Amino acid sequence: MAYDFKSFEVKLAGAKEWLGREYQGLRTGRATPAILDGISVQAYGSMMPLKQVATIGVEDARSLRVQAFDPGIIKDIERAITQADLGVGVGSDASGVRVTFPELTGERREQLIKLAKAKLEDARTTVRQARDECWKDIQAQEEEGAITEDDKFRLKDEMQKKVDAMNEELQKAFEKKETEMHG
């Protein structure tokens, strides 16, 4: 009997996507538009994602240029980025907002790497919880007679391969982020 790993795989993929999003928000010494992805701007009487009210471009290695579609909201954009407290410099002129990325100090880099490691552990915990739920389900199916003991152990091996592969992907994501931070 084929065991349906679908919900288990969805949980694993979810852990990976979550880690990717968390890492996008972690600042490196290099200017990256993704750091502004979570920012919303108070404009036209409601909160709007920054991407809907401006274009974001890389000006050089250490700065981004945020061009408002409507120059009337440049100050609102500047305020939203400042309030996000991303550890970046923010300044505006008539054509838009410049976001500058200061050089990371050794101490700040170490803090960010610790934070990246903690987020890696959170993602691994999610993977462990998904594995435990899946294993309980496999055992329950054997107890109900839906699968044989041989099936149970074969499925456990298959499940563990998926866990190992995902943990390896999470580790690679961490190592990539760590390398970026050493810039």
Do residues 100 and 108 lie in contact, with contact meaning Cβ atoms separated by under 8 Å? no
Q: Please tell me the total count of domains within the chain.
A: 2
Same structural domain for residues 82 and 119?
A: no
Same structural domain for residues 95 and 118?
A: no
- Ordered DSSP codes for 91-156: EEETTEEEEE-PPPPHHHHHHHHHHHHHHHHHHHHHHHHHHHHHHHHHHHHHHTTSS-HHHHHHHH
Count of Cβ atoms closer than 10 Å to residue 51 Cβ: 14
* Whole-number CA gyration radius for the chain: 22
The 8-class DSSP code of residue 89 comes to: E
Same structural domain for residues 62 and 152?
A: no
Residue 55 sits in a domain of what CATH number? 3.30.1360.40
Task: Please tell me the pTM assigned to this model.
Answer: 0.68
Sequence letter at residue 89: G
- Give residue-wise pLDDT tens across range 25-71: 776 667 778 788 888 998 888 999 999 999 999 888 888 999 999 99
Same structural domain for residues 37 and 71?
A: yes
Give the domain extent around 73.
30-100
- Give residue-wise pLDDT tens across range 87-138: 788 999 888 999 988 877 888 788 888 889 999 999 999 999 999 999 999 9
Answer positive or negative: Cα dihedral of 142, 145, 149, 150: negative
Same structural domain for residues 151 and 132?
A: yes
Token digits of residue 33? 């538009």
Token digits of residue 109? 């880099």
Which residues 6+ apart lie within 8 Å of 77 measured at CB? Answer: 41, 50, 53, 54, 66, 68, 92, 96, 97
Q: Looking only at Cα atoms, what is the longest distance across the chain?
A: 72
Asked whether residue 1 is assigned to any structural domain, the reply reads no
